[in-house]
Amino acid sequence: MTREKLNIVFLSEIAIVSKLQSNLKEFGDLFVDRHILEIEEKSLETDNLSDISTGNIYIFQSKNAAMLCKKYKESFNRNSDYLAVGAYTASPVEEIFNVKCRYPDNKYSSADLLKSKYLKDVEGKKIIILKGENGLSILHENLREKNDSNEILLYKRKMNKYLLMDEDFKDKNINIVICMSNSVLNFLIENFHNLISNLKVVLVVPNKRFLSGKTNVFYQTHIVEKIDNEEEYLNLFHKMRGTRK
């Protein structure tokens, strides 16, 4: 029986791409890297650094925010609490600051961190939320009611609208699109709606907040919450191809 080959399109950067390519080499799958969301760093003001130095709790809302904090690491208090929205974000925090960075046990999102045990009984604390421009503000909006909550914007996102092309999708393959950004997903649907609706295009996102009526255009949708978990992706790919191990 002939198995369908996969055409895996990465619209977001994930750390395990090379491992996935190595594991799937025997199946002849295609890989397309199209990180269309570019990151433009913002310079921090003296007031920002002053706030960081007196923070009781640091919350890293994205991997990009964590990575861009490296140059400011001397301003951070190592005795404060370090939190992240998920394991993918916590990993560089621990590497850069040599601290334990905690995150929700199961589901990874700002909402899940807000409900976690790590943000219970934190009234009166100075909380520093490190994020990108136009990122979710659910943490700040809820924590500022009883705390000194400060959002510090480390970068802004810029869409490279000409990087992704029709030719990146194949009519003879199952196309699997891995997307970790709502803005990228909206761009994809708005600009490639007709193409997607006429091909087998499977959407993979990190949580259910990405899914809406607009995502019905996809052949299938799947959620992989632990975005740095190689096994979850491999299981999905084998299932799509019909080679489940």
Residues forming beta bridges with residue 203, ordered by sequence position: 177, 221
- What does the pLDDT read at residue 2? 52
Q: Which domains are assigned to the chain?
A: 6-36+162-241 (3.40.50.10090), 39-158 (3.40.50.10090)
Residues forming beta bridges with residue 211, ordered by sequence position: none
Tell me the backbone φ, ψ of residue 58, rounded to 5 degrees: -110, 130
Terminal C-alpha separation, the chain = 16
pLDDT truncated to tens, each residue of the chain (245 aa)?
A: 456 789 999 998 777 888 888 888 888 889 999 988 888 999 999 999 999 999 999 999 988 999 999 999 999 999 999 999 988 789 899 999 999 999 998 777 788 899 999 999 899 999 999 999 888 889 999 999 999 999 999 999 888 889 999 999 999 999 999 998 888 999 999 999 999 999 999 999 987 778 888 889 999 999 887 777 788 888 889 888 876 65
**Between the CA of residue 235 and those of 36, 79, 89, 176, 196, what are the distances in Å?**
26, 40, 23, 13, 23
Please give the Cα distance from 25 to 13 (Å, whole number).
19
Distance from chain centroid for Cα 217: 22
The 3-state secondary structure of the chain reads CCCCCEEEEECCCCCCHHHHHHHHHHHCCEEEECCCEEEEECCCCHHHHHHHHCCCEEEECCHHHHHHCHHHHHHCCCCCEEEECCHHHHHHHHHHHCCCEECCCCCCCHHHHHHCHHHCCCCCCEEEEEEECCCCCHHHHHHCCCCEEEEEEEEEEEECCCCCCHHHCCCCCEEEEECCCHHHHHHHHHHHHHHHHCCCEEEEECCHHHCCHHHHHCCEEEECCCCCCHHHHHHHHHHHHCCCC
Please give the Cα distance from 34 to 151 (Å, whole number).
30
- What does the pLDDT read at residue 1? 41
Distance from chain centroid for Cα 219: 22
CB 210 within 8 A of CB 180: no
The reported pTM is 0.75
Q: For the stretch 124-142, what's the b/e string if a residue is b when 16 or more beta carbons lie within 10 angstroms of its beta carbon?
A: ebbbbbbbbeebbeebbeb
- What does the pLDDT read at residue 244? 60
